[in-house]
Structure 1
Amino acid sequence: MLFFYTRSPTDIQRSYRAQSSLKKCGKDPAWIPIVTFNQSAILTNVLTQGCRLVKYHVECPFTDSGIISTMQMTNMDNDHIPKYMGQCGNQIGCRFWDLALREHAAVNKSGIYDESLGSFFRNVDSRYDDPADIPLGSGRGKIKSLKARAVLVDMEEGVVSEAMKGPLKEVFDFQQLITDVSGSGNNWATGHKMYGVQYHEKLSDIIRRTAEFCDCLQCFFVMHSMGGGTGSGVGTYTLNLLADEYPDVYRFVTAVYPSADDDVITSPYNSVLAMRELTDKADCVLPIENQSLVDIVNKIGQAVPSAKMGKRVFAASGVKSGSALTAGEGGLSKPSDERPFDSMNNIVANLLLNLTSSARFEGSLNVDLNEITMNLVPFPRLHYLVASQTPLYALADVNLPPRRLDQMFSDAFSRDHQLIKADPKHSLYLACALMVRGNVEISDVRRNIERLKPNLKFIHWNQEGWKTGLCSVPPVGQPYSLLTLANNTCVHNSFSDLRDRFNRLYKRKAHVHHYTHVDGMEITDFSESLESLNSLVQEYVTLEQHMNKPAQSEPRLQVLS
């Protein structure tokens, strides 16, 4: 999935005033893009320059627009264009849009195309062959026809075709689809070296064309799996494309890792080959493990009374499919429409909703995505953030009692709520972000931080490494929620397990010939990817050796006589 974060036409018009203000700050305003309301296309270099403009907004208090580098949190004037890669990415994407529509419908009951909707959807006049975009304007216009800011990519037609025939079909634009018929055959080389090269121009064009509906490109958000061929291969190829064509734009990745008993034998190869690209090209990665999702879903199924769960069926990977995590009344999908992985995909979709809540709704202390990168990534390669969220049942058809606020914070740091198989409380924190939604005061957050700090180990040079965000709008059906993003050394355990599974295959060169016969794929790609993973694991292990080192007591400033 790929997000573009942008500013609104209103803020771009403010760049006229920004020119004179920049002169006062001693900055050169000559390169500032001036864009009018009716401008239909914005060139790539202008979009990129727009991000540099925002950085000056942070440094110089010359504007009243409240813009911060990646997302404008105060005014919520930013656009999101998701890009789904492969079967996993597209299935999660469908759940994401279903839940996003439900969340916006709960807040926006008057059918107004406001700033909140504008961050995810275009408002178009569909009476024409080439639908015309209706500008946000004052944020009080009526909704005509909503089109998701989304691009769907898969080298098979099944999932995308299903989406275009399902209840969300009117939301997606046929011009923003890329499909093939043969698939990548669970082969990273086929996806990356063959289909990536084959569809390079089309990928580049569709990203550029979709970005032209935005006002100023700010951030990419890529969603794909790691075990398959299209997600890992085409997904990381697209990440390279973004790094080449939009080098100054942040690149966030949510990557779903296969479990140890994955039914794709070559998934360790695909994951390790893809990880080299994520480590080198992404600014921030949110790893999610399939096994953690399975465990969470089954745990929720046990917690929900059977009378409220309705009829249970056993889906793929042993997941019990019930109503606790599936679309219920008020959504676009009916409970009978539930597919095997919907309950797992809902967890990831809610992660994305919580992550972007500050871009869509107001709050007393909203968090910008570039603040996450700035505060949680102390070293360029160590940008893998461990995510957890609570509550994990957030849909209206389950009347479970809400978690007490303090218990919610405790749950977020427990092993059972992590989206990877790890226990961060027994490893070293480099930094941690708390993104809270609902009627929660900053004093509540501070109290819980002080309560939890004695049980958490932070690296000695960043003992106060907390980042806090407050969004006033809670998820549907819950009074509040909490998303934590932690840069924690526990992630190296998952990477070490993946490396071991890779080595068990590679030491016998099993299935390697399926990769090397693809044009452009070399045997050295395996060894170089393994070396990159070894280096990454070692960096985390080296930091973890400082776990018991006392905190630095030196003053930050010293007066020299």
Structure 2
Amino acid sequence: MTQSVVVQVGQCGNQVGCRFWDLALREHAAVNKKGMYDEALSSFFRNVDTRSGDNGPDIYKGKICTLKARALLIDMEEGVVNEILQGPLRDVFDSKQLITDVSGSGNNWAVGHKIYGCQYRENIVEKLRKTAEHCDCLQCFFIIHSMGGGTGSGLGTFVLNLLEEEFPEVYRFVTSVYPSGEDDVITSPYNSVLAMKELNEHADCVLPIENESLFQIVNKIHQMINSGKLGSTVKQNSLVTSNAGSAKTLQVKPFDAMNNIVANLLLNLTSSARFEGSLNMDLNEISMNLVPFPRLHYLVSSLTPLYTLADVNVPSRRLKPSLHFVSWNQEGWKTGLCSVPPVGHSHSLLALANNTCVKPTFIELKDRFMKLYKKKAHLHHYLQIDGMEQSCFSEAIYSLSDLIEEYNELDATKGGPRIDPSRLKIAL
């Protein structure tokens, strides 16, 4: 059984990570009724005998000891991490796998990447190595971060670079939350484009998530519940968007609801590697089958259902015949079947696609960047950081423009009119 390590960077990364670990524990508890440590749990959890202060590999299989998440929590503002450590998941995290500061990155990619990256480099490398030593067969690092802030974008991509240097043979899957056009961080276009260059060069797979799309999905489900369109009953604990399936949570904690969608996406992505099924699919098969060119590694995700009716019917329509494949890869298709559905659901489907519908998101990001950059707005905040030059911006926008052009060329090979979906969405 292979293991994966989750690296949570910044406020958004740690909030999504918190929901991921909570849902992962619920999922394993529903399957593993005896509460014994098994191979499925070993994918994301260590089993530590606290009586002996064990810090070595998982040598206590079969014993009921203390579960510790295979995780590294990083944030240059300690608020979110402290909140996690004071919550119900506090015992899941090893205090030795936390890196925090108090001042934050000031929504500045350069501060996170250049200043904090250099300052915490050795500490991060040491903790990454320690985490890797606890794995029998480390297959993948999952990085969760946002693109718009300073720590998530700057330090998050710095960690990505470190992973490539220190663990070149281990896959790097990145879940990146992209800011909306109405984002209250005015410098988010700078941060996002600077981060994009690093993702282009150092990630194996990127799962881009639009913050605006998450918000729209949560609002849509909330409206459908209130209007009664979901039927007279919604199956208890079946809402992917809430902690316990309560519709009230959508109003009280909308960010938790949004984060839960992303957490469920990651759980679905790894379920075939953690649980038995009639057609298992490993993480390396995702990269092998869905990334034909190294830079074109942005995978669009669609997850269903986000809620379950009591009288749900399993869909049987075939998806593959309705899709258009490029001429040189007509058989680019991989299926994984897992016997364990998410908690509260009778079934679940995650579709990952490498297609050109990510292009509008990148074009919009480029346009927002250029509006600021043409006026040199807020540029001095970045250029005053050691190691940060104006060429960093020109190189970043060139990298993004080059990526957009590659998608344009693929569009042109379809032989028909160029049709781009209006938004990148996680489909209902």
TM-score by length of 1: 0.70
Q: Is 2:242–2:250's contact at 8 Å kept on the other side of the alignment?
A: no
Q: Deviations over 1:119-171 (max 9, x none)?
A: 1111111224x34558456x5x2321111111100000100000000000011
Secondary structure in 1 aligned to 2:335? Answer: strand
Q: Who is 2:138 aligned against?
A: 217
Match of 2:264 among 350, 359, 380: 350
Residue of structure 1 equivalent to 2:242: 326
1:228 is aligned to 2:149:
yes
Tell me the residue number matched to 1:21. Answer: none
Partner of 1:368: 282
* Structure 2 residue matching 1:483: 3-state secondary structure: strand
Bigger Rg, structure 1 or 2 = 1
Q: Which amino acid in 2 is paired with 1:328? A: A
2:297 paired residue number: 383
Q: Does 1:85 align with 2:19?
A: no
Find 1:544's aligned residue among 407, 411, 422.
411
Q: CA deviation at 1:215?
A: 1.6
Match of 1:120 in 2: 44
List per-residue Cα deviations over 1:487-513 (Å, max 9, x = no partner).
Answer: 001111110010000000000000000
Counterpart CA distance in 1 for 2:205 and 2:194 is: 18
Structure 1 position 335, deviation (Å): 5.7
What residue identity is the alignment partner of 1:404?
A: V
Mapped pair 1:199 → 2:120: yes
**What residue is the counterpart of 1:528 in the other structure?**
395
Residue pairs, 1:500-519, within 5 angstroms? 500-519=367-386
Give the equivalent residue in structure 1 for 2:234.
none
**Structure 2 counterparts to residues 65-464 of structure 1, below 5 A:** 77-128=1-52, 130-132=53-55, 135=58, 141-305=62-226, 325-328=241-244, 339-393=253-307, 399-406=309-316, 448-449=318-319, 452-453=320-321, 455-464=322-331
User: % of aligned pairs identical?
Assistant: 64
Q: 1:217 to 1:324 in 2, by over 3 A?
A: closer
Q: CA deviation at 1:531?
A: 0.3
Amino acid at match of 2:298: Y
Is the CA contact 1:113–1:136 (under 8 Å) kept in the aligned structure 2?
A: no
Q: Kindly provide the CA deviation profile for residues 337-357 of structure 1, in whole angstroms up to 9, marking residues without a partner as x.
A: 963410000000000000000
Instruction: Return the offset for 1:368.
Output: 1.1
Q: What is the alpha-carbon distance in structure 1 between the residues aligned to residue 140 and residue 39 of structure 2?
A: 18
How many Å separate the matches in 2 of 1:324 and 1:388?
13
Residue correspondences, number: 409
In the alignment, the residues of structure 2 paired with residue 294 and residue 160 of structure 1 have an alpha-carbon distance, to the nearest angstrom, of 23
Matched residue SS, 1:463: coil
Deviation at 1:390, TM superposition (A): 0.2
Query: Following TM superposition, by how much is the alpha carbon of 1:477 offset from its aligned partner in structure 2, in angstroms?
Result: 1.2
Aligned 8 A contact 2:14 2:81 in 1: yes
Q: CA deviation at 1:217?
A: 2.6
Alpha-carbon distance in 2 for matches of 1:143, 1:324: 29
Q: Which has the higher contact order (CA 8 A, sep 6+)?
A: 2
SS in 2 for 1:341: helix
Structure 1, gaps ≥5 residues long:
1-76, 310-321, 410-447, 550-561
Give how far 1:249 is off: 2.0
- Give the CA RMSD over aligned residues: 2.3
1:470 aligns with 2:391: no
**Deviation per residue, 1:376-425 (Å, 9 max, x gap):** 1111111111111100126xxxx55435323xx6xxxxxxxxxxxxxxxx
Q: Deviations over 1:28-76 (max 9, x none)?
A: xxxxxxxxxxxxxxxxxxxxxxxxxxxxxxxxxxxxxxxxxxxxxxxxx
Q: Find the residue that maps to 2:138 and give its secondary structure.
A: coil
Which TM-score applies when normalising by structure 2? 0.91
Equivalent pair of 1:499/1:530 in contact (CA under 8 Å): yes
State the Cα deviation string for residues 264-303 of structure 1 (Å, max 9, x = none): 1010000000000000011111100001101111111122
CA separation of 1:380/1:402 partners in 2, compared to 1, >3 Å: closer, same or farther? Answer: same
Q: Give me the whole-angstrom Cα distance separating, in 1, the residues matched to 2:252 and 2:229.
A: 16
Partners of 2:328 and 2:283 in 1: CA distance: 23
Going from structure 1 to structure 2, the CA distance change for 1:403 and 1:509 (only over 3 Å counts) comes to farther
Is contact 1:326-1:338 (8 Å) kept? no
Gaps of 5+ in 2: 231-237, 417-428
Shift of 1:308: 12
Q: CA deviation at 1:460?
A: 1.1
Q: Assess, with a 3 A threshold, how the Cα gap between structure 1 residues 134 and 374 changes in structure 2: closer, same or farther.
A: closer
> Does structure 2 retain, via aligned residues, the 8 Å contact 1:125–1:133?
no
SS at match of 1:153: strand
CA distance, structure 2, for counterparts of residue 346 and residue 288 of structure 1: 13
Structure 1 residue matching 2:302: 3-state secondary structure? strand
Task: Tell me, in whole angstroms, the C-alpha distance in 2 between the residues paired with 1:106 and 1:379.
Answer: 39
Distance, in Å, in 1 between the alignment partners of 2:413 and 2:77 is 47
Distance 1:324 1:121, change over 3 A: closer
